[in-house]
């Protein structure tokens, strides 16, 4: 903990800024929640940590450097060294092009997937923000730039998945373009 903060030891307990230390640890360790309090008897500092649970592998570009890590349900990037290694073998989703501004949309995708029948395996944000996802059966789905449409687009994906499953049509799909969800375009393989 000390290595991930500006705290220098030894220091008098009264001089420790607990709120600043909480913010610093939360940011540096990608924690969900941190609570730091002074304790008089026994004399010391109590630190409670709540870690983030990774649900996707993640990749981001920072200062032209590729950084790998994980993404949690809230769309927060977790550096590889700070990840909780409990369920890493169960992760099937990959996120490429993570950026701070995509947290909300990622969270909406993860929540929708929990409540739907589709199974996303890959989410890609291009450098200019174009969103593409890959679903296990429906293959590549273009969602575009308009993040305000995401819930509507995810609903359409779920409906398409259910319809195609009934008709055994999904193995013929190459791509689905939902950039304009009112006019979906489906490209199929032609034998």
Digit-by-digit pLDDT tens for the chain (191 residues) are: 566 667 777 777 777 778 888 888 877 677 788 888 888 888 888 888 888 888 899 999 888 889 899 999 999 998 887 666 666 778 889 999 999 999 999 999 999 998 888 899 999 999 999 999 999 888 899 999 998 999 999 999 998 888 877 776 656 788 999 999 999 898 877 66
Q: Are residues 91 and 133 in the same domain?
A: yes
CB atoms within 10 A of CB 48: 10
Q: Are residues 31 and 120 in the same domain?
A: no
Give the global pTM. 0.81
Q: Are residues 75 and 166 in the same domain?
A: yes
Q: Are residues 25 and 99 in the same domain?
A: no
Which pLDDT score, from 0 to 100, does residue 8 have? Answer: 72
Residue ranges making up the domain that contains 184: 53-188
Q: Are residues 60 and 86 in the same domain?
A: yes
Residues 50, 30: Cα–Cα separation, whole Å: 10
Q: Are residues 40 and 82 in the same domain?
A: no
Q: Are residues 67 and 143 in the same domain?
A: yes
Contacts of 47 (CB under 8 A, 6+ apart): 1, 25, 34, 35, 36
> Could you tell me how far CA 85 lies from the centroid of its own chain?
16
Q: Are residues 123 and 180 in the same domain?
A: yes
Per the structure, how many domains does the chain have? 2
Assign residue 143 the CATH number of its domain. 3.40.50.11690
Q: Are residues 113 and 31 in the same domain?
A: no
Q: Are residues 120 and 156 in the same domain?
A: yes
């Amino acid at each position: 903990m000390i290595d991930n903060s500006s705290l220098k030891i030894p220091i008098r307990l009264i001089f420790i800024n607990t709120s600043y230390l909480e913010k610093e640890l939360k940011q540096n360790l990608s924690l969900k929640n941190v609570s730091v309090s002074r304790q008089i008897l026994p004399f010391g500092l109590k630190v409670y940590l709540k870690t983030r649970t990774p649900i996707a592998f993640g990749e981001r570009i920072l200062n032209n450097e590729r950084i790998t890590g994980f993404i949690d349900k809230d769309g927060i990037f977790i550096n590889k060294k700070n990840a909780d290694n409990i369920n890493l073998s169960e992760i099937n989703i990959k996120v490429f092009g993570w950026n701070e501004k995509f947290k909300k949309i990622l969270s909406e995708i993860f929540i929708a997937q929990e409540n739907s029948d589709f199974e996303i395996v890959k989410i890609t944000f291009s450098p200019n923000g174009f969103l593409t996802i890959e679903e296990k059966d429906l293959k590549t789905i273009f969602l575009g730039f308009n993040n305000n449409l995401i819930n509507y687009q995810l609903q359409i994906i779920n409906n398409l998945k259910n319809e195609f499953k009934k008709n055994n049509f999904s193995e013929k799909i190459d791509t689905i373009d939902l950039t304009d969800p009112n006019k979906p375009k489906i490209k199929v393989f032609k034998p």
